[in-house]
Amino acid sequence: MSESKPGDKALDHIIQEMVDTVSNSKDEIFQIGEESRSEFDQLKRELDETKKQVFVLIDESDKLEQKVRFSRKRLSEVSKHFQHYSEEEIRKVYEQTHQLQMDLSMKQEKEKQLRQRRDDLERRLKNLEETIGRAEALGGKISVVLNYLTEDFRQVSEVLEDAKEKQEFGLQIIEAQEEERRRLSREIHDGPAQMLANVMLRSDLVDRTFRERGVDEALKEIKDVRDMVRSALYEVRRIIYDLRPMALDDLGLIPTLKKYLSTVEEYNDMTITFTHFGHEQRFASKFEVALFRLIQEAVQNAVKHAEPNDIQVKVEMKQSYFTIIVKDNGKGFDTSVKKENSFGLVGMKERVEMLEGEITIDSTPGEGTMVMIQIPLDLS
């Protein structure tokens, strides 16, 4: 049994302090979220009550306006024929009209105040909803960090003996995971979160559209909301696939690819033809994930950058090689010109190198792109 080194103990102490700090931060964020939810529920009840009061006041003001108009008309008639009325009758009509006008002004002022209160409550609710969403997202990220610190990072001390190697390895893991979290955070913010926020805003318009412009216009709004929900659902499914396609573990590579490509084809309104040759078989989980990621990255690059209407995906399993071909009829590009921020291609090349395979990219402007990858099967 190897003796524990001073560097190991120092690293373990640092990790424990990080665990304690992150755990406390998670509790604080959870408390902020709970307090925000409580305040949200209270303001929501107050907003509902305020809206009811506004409707009641509008109805009362309408009725009072009718009484004021009638009283004014009565006053005008009395003033015109005052010789037919006693002084007491004239005074009574005048006082009644004046009182009605005063009552109407008070109700209108109260209605104005309630409307302002309603608008203020709606703004505060929107801000609270955003705060709750940020707290939940941050809590989820911290949970991932905490799990990493308490599980994965502790195993580093058991696997690596040299403190310097442990430090470098840990920093590489942290950097990779942080980059993945940033990417995932951006995708959620720019995709499903933005779409769902728009759904909330558009759903509020449905009732107003129904009341102001009729059923047909309201149905159009509902159709738009449904399309937005459908887009958000696709983005969520795509992000889940990016994290890890669950069907891989249960069904294997080929059925998972069929399902994934079918979803991409349906959402992007294009034709994706999938063909596989050779005997369908299962590989080691890590190998299947790596192959899936390569095909996924190639297809996503085509969809995002090539603007094609047809993509062909072929996989062939031979005795010693697994071959992948992804071909599109998009706009293509000059492979001799290095593009800035072309992280998709860089990531694919790195994955292929890790698997000791080869990748060839053949593309011409205006004539589409073909990506061919060959991976030795003895690595599985």
pLDDT tens-place string over residues 15-42: 677 777 777 777 777 777 778 788 888 8
Residue with tokens 């799990």: 147
**pLDDT above 70 covers what percent of the chain?**
76
Rounded Cα distance, 280 and 257, in Å: 12
Question: Mind listing the pLDDT tens digit for each residue in 126-184?
Answer: 888 888 777 777 777 777 666 666 665 555 555 544 455 545 545 555 565 566 666 66
Give mean pLDDT, residues 293-319.
Answer: 90
DSSP state of 193: I
Q: What is the CATH number of domain 247-379?
A: 3.30.565.10
pLDDT of residue 42: 86
Domain with CATH 1.10.287 in the chain: 6-238
97 within 8 A of 79, measured Cβ to Cβ: no
Say if pTM beats, i.e. exceeds, 0.85. Answer: no
CA terminus-to-terminus distance, the chain = 32
Which residues lie below 8 Å from residue 83, measured CB to CB, with a gap of 6+? none
- For residue 52, give the nearest of 134, 138, 121, 149 by alpha carbon: 121
Instruction: Determine whether 323 is exposed, middle or buried from the number of CB atoms within 10 Å of its CB (0-12, 13-18, 19+).
Output: middle
More confident residue, 121 or 340: 121
Domain with CATH 3.30.565.10 in the chain: 247-379
Which CATH topology does 6-238 take?
Helix Hairpins (1.10.287)
- For residue 40, give the nearest of 110, 132, 106, 150 by alpha carbon: 132
